[in-house]
Amino acid sequence: MNFAARVTSRALEAGRATSILRSVRVTALGLTSVALTALFVFPASLPAAADPPLTVAEARKLITQLRTDAAAIDQQYAGVREQIKQGRAQLKLKQADVQAQTGKVARMRLQVGQVALAQFQNRSLDTAAQLFVTPDTDRFLSQISTVQRISENQNSQLQDYQQAQADLAALEHSAETDLATLAEKQKQLKSLTDASDKKLEQAKRVLAKLSADKRSQLAAAEARATARANAAASRDAARGPVSGKGAKALEYAKAQLGEPYVRNGAGPSGWDCSGLTMRAWGSVGVSLPHSAGQQSNRGRSVARSDLQLGDLVFFYSPISHVGLYAGNGRIIHAPRPGKSVEYTKISYMPWAGARRPG
C-alpha cells in the first residue's frame, strides 16, 4: 500500500469524515456557513486503537492539511467580517438619508397643509366678493395672484409629496433589510469560527496520538523545513535592494519573519495571511481589505512571468490564501496555525493569480 493510501486508510476510518485530500478542501471552501457547520460536526477520524500508529511523515501530512483547512476557513471568516464592515458603513449612510428624507417629508407636509387650509378658508367667497369686502384692494390683488398660482401647482405639489413619502418608505425598508443581513452575517462568523476550531481540535487529537519522541521528530522536521526555506531566500536576496512600493511592502513583511500565525491577526505580533499583506501594503500608503478573496480584486492582474517584488500572489480555488512575492519563485506569507511568517515556494500551492496594488 503506498503512502497516500496508508494515510487515507488510517486517518479516515470512522466514516471517512476527515479528508486529507485536496479535493475535499476545495469542496468545503465552496460551501455556505450552514453547510460548513454540518460538515465539521463529525468527530475527528483518528486511527483505531488496534491499527499501527501513524508515522511521523503521515502525521505531519495530516496535521498540515487540517491546519491548512483551518486557515482557509479563517479567510472565509475574514471575508464575511469585511462584508459586515462595509455593510455597516453603507447602513450608516442610508440612515443619514432616512433622517434627511424624514425632514424633507415633514416640510412638504406642512406646505401642502397650508395650501389646503387657505383654500378651505376662502372656499365660500368668489374673487369678486372678496375684493368687495377687503379694505386693502392692492394687497388683496397681490395675495390672490399668489393663491391662484399655488392652486394651479397644488396637484404637482401633492404628487411631489407623495413621491417623497414613497422614497422615505423605500429607504426605511432598505435600511431594515441591511440590518437583517448584518445579523445573518454575524451568525456566519460564529459558524465559521466553530468550523475552524473543529479542524484545529482534530489536528490536536492526531498529535496527541503520537509518542513524545515522534512529536519531537515532527517539530524538528517543521523547524528544518522553515530554516532551509528562509536561508535560501536570504541568500537570493543578498543581491541588493530594489526600489518601488512593492519592494518596500516586501521589506515590511520581512521584518515580521518568525512571528506566529494568529487567526484574524493583523499585527503587531501575530498575523494571518491577508492581515500580513494588508499591513505590508498599508505601510506604503495602499489600503487593502483584510481578506484574501477581496484583495484578489484590487490592483491590476499580473502574469506569473511578470511578477515583481511585493506583488500579491493568490492560491487555491476559491481563493483562500495570499502572500507577497519575494523573488526567485518564492513568497513571504503567514501560512497556517502552528506556523510563523516564513518564505515558501510558489509551486508548493495551487496558483490562483497575482495582483499588483497601488
CB 274 within 8 A of CB 210: no
Q: Based on the structure, what is the number of domains in the chain?
A: 2
Judge whether residue 15 has pLDDT over 90: no
Cβ neighbors of 8 (< 8 A, separation 6 or more) are 20, 21
Is there a single domain that holds both residue 54 and residue 124? yes
Hunting for cell 438619508 — which residue is that?
97
Is there a single domain that holds both residue 141 and residue 280? no
CATH number of the domain within which 3 lies: 1.10.287.1490
Q: Is 289 left (phi over 0), alpha (psi -120 to 50) or beta?
A: beta
Q: Please give the average per-residue pLDDT across 286-307, as a whole number.
A: 96
Is there a single domain that holds both residue 168 and residue 291? no
Q: Count other Cβ atoms within 10 Å, centred on residue 238.
A: 6
Choose the catalytic residue: 273, 280, 313, 349: 273
pLDDT band at 90 (very low <50, low <70, confident <90, very high): confident
Task: Average the pLDDT over each of 4-8, 277-281, 332-336 and give the range with the smallest value.
Answer: 4-8
Q: 170, 195, 210: which is the final residue of a domain?
A: 210
Is there a single domain that holds both residue 8 and residue 79? yes
* Cα dihedral 268, 271, 275, 280 sign: positive
Choose the catalytic residue: 25, 248, 330, 333: 333
Is there a single domain that holds both residue 191 and residue 278? no
Is there a single domain that holds both residue 203 and residue 247? no
Mean pLDDT for all residues in the chain: 80
Q: How do 300-301 and 351-356 pair as beta strands?
A: antiparallel
pLDDT band at 42 (very low <50, low <70, confident <90, very high): very low
Choose the catalytic residue: 81, 245, 321, 336: 321
Q: Please give the average per-residue pLDDT across 294-314, as a whole number.
A: 96
- Catalytic (active site) residue 290: no
Judge whether residue 11 has pLDDT over 70: no
Q: Would 247 be classed as within a structural domain?
A: yes
* pTM for the full predicted model: 0.67
Task: Say how many residues make up the chain.
Answer: 358
- Domain containing 99 equals 1-210
First to last CA, the chain: 51
Q: Please give the average per-residue pLDDT across 123-144, as a whole number.
A: 52
- Catalytic (active site) residue 173: no
pLDDT band at 202 (very low <50, low <70, confident <90, very high): very high
Convert the pLDDT of each residue in 65-87 to its tens digit.
999 999 999 999 999 999 998 88
